[in-house]
Chains A and B, each alone.
Chain A
Amino acid sequence: MSHNQPSRRSFLKVTAATGGGLLLGFSWLTSCESEKAEKARPELVMPEKWVAVNAFLKIGDNGVVTIMSPNPEIGQNVKTAMPMLVAEELDVDWKNVIVEQAGLDTDNYERQLAGGSQSIRHGWEPLRKAGATARYMLLQAAAQQLDVDAGSLRTENGMIFHDGSDRKLGYGEVASLAATLPLPEEVTLKDPADFKIIGHATKNVDARKITTGQPLFGLDLQREGMKYAAIVHPPAFGLKLKSVDDSAVRGLPGIHDVVTIDAAPEGVEMQWSDVNAFPQLVAVIGDNTWRVLQAKKKLKIEWEQTSPLESTADQLENLRLTLQEGKAEEARRDGNPEAAFARAATIIDRTYSAPFLPHNTMEPMNFFADVWEDRAELVGPIQTPEFLRKTVSALLDMPEANIDIMMTRMGGGFGRRLYGNFGVEAALISKAAGVPVKLVYSREDDMTQGTYRPEYLVRYRAGLDEEGRLIAFHVRGTGAGESPVFANRYPAGTVENYLAENISTESNVSTGAWRAPRSNFIAGAEQAFLDEVAEAAGKDPIEFRLELFDRAIKDPVGEENDYDPERYAGVLKLVRDKSGWKTGEDQRGVAAYYCHNSYVAQVLEARLDAGEPRVNEVHCAVDCGIVVNPEGAHNQIEGGIIDGVGHALFGAVTFTDGKPDQQNFDTYRLIRHIEAPRAIHTHFVENNIDPTGLGEPSLPPVIGALANAIYRVTGERVYDQPFVQRRELRG
Chain B
Amino acid sequence: MATFNLTVNGQPRSVEAEPEMPLLWVLRDELGLVGTKYGCGIGACGACTVHLDGAAIRSCSLPVSQVGEQPVTTIEGLSADGDHPVQLAWLEHDVPQCGYCQAGQIMSAAALLDGIPNPDEAEISAGMSGNICRCGTYTRIHAAVKSAAEKLS
Contact = CB atoms under 8 A, between A and B. Distances in A.
Contacts of B101: 362, 411
Interface stretch (A211-219, A459-467, A553-561, A583-591): A211-219
A643 B141 CA distance: 15
Contact of A676 (B81, B95, B96, B139): B139
A206 B96 CA distance: 9
A203 interface: yes
A362 B135 contact: yes
B40 A411 contact: no
A680 B141 CA distance: 13
Given A207-B94, A211-B87, A635-B97, A412 B74 contact: no
Interface stretch (A105-113, A238-246, A662-670): A662-670
A297 B134 CA distance: 28
A195 interface: no
Contacts of B136: 638-643, 646, 671, 676
Nearest to A73: B98
Nearest to A359: B134
B97 A290 contact: no
A665 to B, nearest CB: 4
B91 A208 contact: yes
B139 A411 contact: no
B72 interface: no
Contacts of A527: none
Interface string A666-683: 100011111111111000
B40 A363 contact: no
Contacts of A76: 97
9 contacts: A211-B102, A214-B35, A220-B34, A288-B29, A291-B21, A410-B98, A411-B99, A665-B45, A680-B139
A671 B135 CA distance: 10
Contacts of A409: 98-99
A213 B97 contact: no
Select the residue from B40, B128, B131, B134 with max chain A CB neighbours within 10 A: B134
Nearest to A77: B97
Given A207-B91, A290-B25, A679 B32 contact: no
Given A638-B137, A664-B40, A203 B91 contact: yes
Contacts of A291: 18, 21
B66 to A, nearest CB: 15
A407 interface: no
Contacts of B22: 290
A638 B96 contact: no
A674 B41 contact: no
**Interface of chain A, main secondary structure:** loop
Given A222-B34, A290-B22, A207 B90 contact: yes
Given A362-B133, A676-B136, A680-B139, A212 B75 contact: yes
A217 B36 CA distance: 11
Interface in A590-648: 631-632, 635-636, 638-643, 646
Interface in B59-117: 74-76, 78, 81-82, 87, 90-91, 94-103, 106
Contact of B25 (A215, A288, A642, A670): A288
A665 B40 contact: yes
Nearest to B138: A676
Interface string A212-232: 111111011010000010000
Select the residue from A211, A289, A413, A676 with max chain B CB neighbours within 10 A: A211
B129 interface: yes
B36 A213 contact: yes
Interface string A395-411: 00000000000000111
A694 to B, nearest CB: 11
A42 B82 CA distance: 12
Contacts of B124: 673
A714 interface: no
Interface residues of B, number: 61
A643 B98 CA distance: 13
Contact of B38 (A289, A642, A678): A289
Contacts of A77: 97
A674 B126 contact: yes
Contacts of B106: 211
B99 A75 contact: yes
A290 B41 CA distance: 10
A318 interface: no
A215 B100 contact: no
Interface in B136-153: 136-142
A662 to B, nearest CB: 12
B132 A642 contact: no
A364 interface: yes
B23 to A, nearest CB: 10
Contacts of B100: 75, 217, 361-363, 411-412
A567 to B, nearest CB: 26
A217 B37 CA distance: 10
Select the residue from B22, B44, B133 with max chain A CB neighbours within 10 A: B133
A286 to B, nearest CB: 10
A680 B143 CA distance: 12
A211 B94 contact: no
B37 A219 contact: yes
A219 B34 contact: yes
B91 A672 contact: no
A670 B134 contact: yes
A208 B39 CA distance: 21
Contact of A74 (B81, B87, B98): B98
The 9 A-B residue pairs whose C-beta atoms are closest, nearest first, are A213-B35, A411-B100, A75-B98, A642-B136, A213-B75, A210-B99, A290-B25, A676-B138, A665-B44
B125 interface: yes
A451 B128 CA distance: 30
B76 A212 contact: yes
B52 to A, nearest CB: 17
B42 A664 contact: yes
B127 to A, nearest CB: 9
A217 B44 CA distance: 21
B8 interface: no
B53 interface: no
A443 B46 CA distance: 13
B13 interface: no
Contacts of B139: 638, 642, 676-680
Select the residue from B34, B95, B96, B135 with max chain A CB neighbours within 10 A: B135
Select the residue from A222, A288, A671, A675 with max chain B CB neighbours within 10 A: A288
A443 B99 CA distance: 18
A253 interface: yes
Contacts of A646: 136
A203 B76 CA distance: 21
A412 B132 CA distance: 13
A351 interface: no
Contacts of A632: 94
A411 B98 contact: yes
B132 A290 contact: no
Given A219-B34, A411-B98, A677-B139, 17 more contacts: A75-B98, A204-B99, A206-B96, A210-B96, A214-B35, A214-B76, A217-B37, A217-B99, A222-B32, A293-B41, A362-B39, A362-B98, A363-B98, A413-B98, A442-B41, A670-B134, A674-B129
Interface in A47-88: 74-77
Nearest to B101: A362
A664 B47 CA distance: 14
A219 B37 CA distance: 8
